[in-house]
Chain A
Amino acid sequence: MYKKSVIILIVLFILGSLGGLIFRGSKQVPSQSEKIAVIYVEGVIVGGRGQGNVFVEQGGTDQVIKQLHEARDDRSVKAVVLRVNSPGGSAAASQEVGEEIKKLRATGKIVVTSMGDVAASGGYWLAACTDKIYANSTTMTGSIGVYVPYANWEELYKKIGIYQEKIKSGQHKDILSPERAMTSEERAIIQVMVDDIYNQFLVVVAEGRKMDIEQVRKLADGRIYTGNQAKQLGLVDELGNMYDAIDGAVALAGIKGKPEIKEYGKQSPWNMIFGVNEEAGSLLEKVLFNQAKNALNSGGSMDVSPNKWQVK
């Protein structure tokens, strides 16, 4: 009986401690600290889900859009820093992400861009949709424009004896085919489309940067600018690195004290251990980045190839 009483007393003591802990804990619920979300846009901007596995997610704007959604739904996230390190990519994918940024801003959350090495063309499209843009003075940005790549291999095909026959449903179905020269009518069709996308791009920049559209048009001849030049031209607000952008986001969101930084996206264990290493990155990312570098070197404008439109 004595032993039973002692054990019951101990059990009651443990239960009391448990209740006390829970009660004390409920009074000290840590106020969900205000967070700054950091979302990375890296590499060529392409639509779709990209590639992902258990350890890492990369490529494809669906991931970025998903992360923007998560940041929008997370009440503790007061502002988002969009870290852009991209030479651009598909117009549709850029537009899709840009619209998602606008929706995020419409909920009252601040979105600030921090430009890395490159934030050109489609990368700049995204930046233009945000509240404030930070760039390094040597960041390559701008490249506001659109192009459709087209190669004519007709002569080469003739030399090696390749003759491709096509049964078409319409005369323009094989527009941009590399085995024949483009007709003037087809050139005009493509030009109209390029102009349409270009004008949409201008509107995005003019609205985002609160600039006159004609003023934007003067700057948007496809050339790239350094961060320094872009600031002088009004395409960038401040010069600074990612942490300056975070500080800027904190100030704009009116966060008092030190906010918690919440990074979105998975980091590969390889990168965690050895740091960012291009060789360790995926083959896809390398190929895409090289493509983008080539595009940038050759006057870098937004790649709006029909492949991306899925109109083939």
Chain B
Amino acid sequence: MGSLYETLYDILFQPQVGMRNIAERKNVGQAFLVFLPCMIIPIWTFINAFHVNEMAKMMNIMIVFEVIGGMVIWILGATIWNLIAELFGGRGSVVSLFTALGFIHIIRLAIIPLWALVSFMPENSKTFLTMLSMLSVISWAFYLDFIAIKEVHQLSTAKAVLVMITPILVVGLLCIIGTIFIGNFLMHMSM
């Protein structure tokens, strides 16, 4: 367990070193150990602390969906980014990247102290601050994703950024092409 503490410390305070170590150790079991509570605790807190009555009725289902959804995104993220990183000349393995992305879920817990802080703020600013806190956690997670890709695959900063944004660019491009095709099809239909 000692190495888990060290890994978590490194992720939070010296992410480059942390990601390099994770890539070497490939401890998938520990990544799962971090992933599960980090998926469950924030949603449980949200439902119970904010008394979302409608959601409370379906809490168990929501937690299951959250975990399954998180798992799918984790696996897809690891495989797609790994594939693109290899295309860009990356030298890491998919297991290393998968493990690193699993550890990054620890950042989700940062939302809890932020919510606690927001709960003391004036009522009219709460929504904005809640959104801001979530955005900051997401940004931090993205930064760590970037570090993970960079360190696991030993890529340059520019290439790591490209690997990160390539899936978004591809999806955007597909949407544009799809819109053009559908628009063209509808235009012919109406004529």
Q: Which residues of A contact B (CB under 8 A)?
A: 3-4, 6-8, 10, 13-14, 17-18, 20-22, 24-25, 29-30
| Cα(A18)–Cα(B108), bound, Å | 13
- Could you say which of B10, B50, B116 has the most chain A C-beta atoms within 10 Å of its C-beta? B116
**B116 contacts A25, C-beta separation under 8 Å:** no
Query: Are A24 and B119 in touch, CB under 8 angstroms?
Result: yes
**Stretch in B41-49, B63-71, B90-98, B169-177 touching the partner:** B41-49
B42, closest chain A residue (CB):
A18
- State in angstroms the CA–CA spacing of A22 and B2 once bound together: 30
Given the known interface contacts A7-B8, A17-B115, A20-B116, the answer about A25 and B109 at a Cβ–Cβ threshold of 8 Å is no
B12 touches A (CB below 8 Å): yes
By the criterion CB–CB under 8 Å, are A3 and B51 in contact?
no
- A6 — which chain B residues lie within 8 A by C-beta? 9, 13
Return the chain B residue nearest A24 by Cβ: B119
> Given A3-B5, A6-B9, A7-B9, do A21 and B51 touch, yes or no (CB 8 Å)?
no
Which residues of chain B are near A7, meaning CB under 8 Å? 5, 8-9
Cβ contacts under 8 Å, B162 to chain A: none
Binding site for A on B (CB under 8 A): 2, 5-6, 8-10, 12-13, 41, 45, 48-51, 109-110, 112-113, 115-116, 119
User: A25-B48, A25-B51 in contact; A18/B5 too (CB < 8 A)?
Assistant: no
Given A10-B12, A14-B109, A14-B113 in contact, is the A21-B5 Cβ separation under 8 Å?
A: no
Contact of B113 (CB < 8 Å), options: A3, A17, A25: A17
A25 vs B48: C-alpha distance in the bound complex, in angstroms?
8
How far is B14's CA from A10's CA once the two chains are assembled, in angstroms? 16
Set B2, B13, B41, B51: member contacting A29, Cβ < 8 A: B51
| Residues of the B chain whose Cβ atoms lie less than 8 Å from the Cβ of A14 | 109-110, 112-113
Measured between beta carbons, the chain A residues less than 8 angstroms from B5 are 3-4, 7-8
Contacts of B41 in A (CB 8 A): 18
Min distance, Cβ A220 to any Cβ of chain B, angstroms: 45
Return 14 A-B CB contacts under 8 Å, by A number: A3-B5, A3-B10, A7-B8, A14-B109, A17-B113, A17-B116, A21-B49, A21-B119, A22-B48, A22-B49, A24-B116, A24-B119, A25-B49, A25-B51
Query: Shortest 6 CB-CB distances between A and B: which pairs?
Result: A3-B9, A17-B116, A21-B49, A25-B49, A17-B113, A4-B5
Most chain B beta-carbon contacts within 10 A, residue among A8, A13, A21:
A21
Using known A-B contacts A18-B41, A21-B116, determine if residue A3 contacts B48 with beta carbons closer than 8 Å. no
Q: How far is the CB of A5 from chain B (nearest CB, A)?
A: 9
- Tell me the smallest distance from the CB of B182 to a CB of chain A, in Å: 18
- CA of A24 to CA of B120, assembled, Å: 9
Residues of chain B with a CB closer than 8 A to A21's CB: 45, 49, 112, 115-116, 119
Q: Which of B2, B12, B50, B112 neighbours the largest number of chain A CB atoms within 10 Å of its CB?
A: B112
| A261 smallest CB distance to B (angstroms) | 15
Shortest distance between the CB of B114 and any CB in chain A (Å): 8
Q: Chain B's nearest CB lies how many Å from the CB of A108?
A: 23
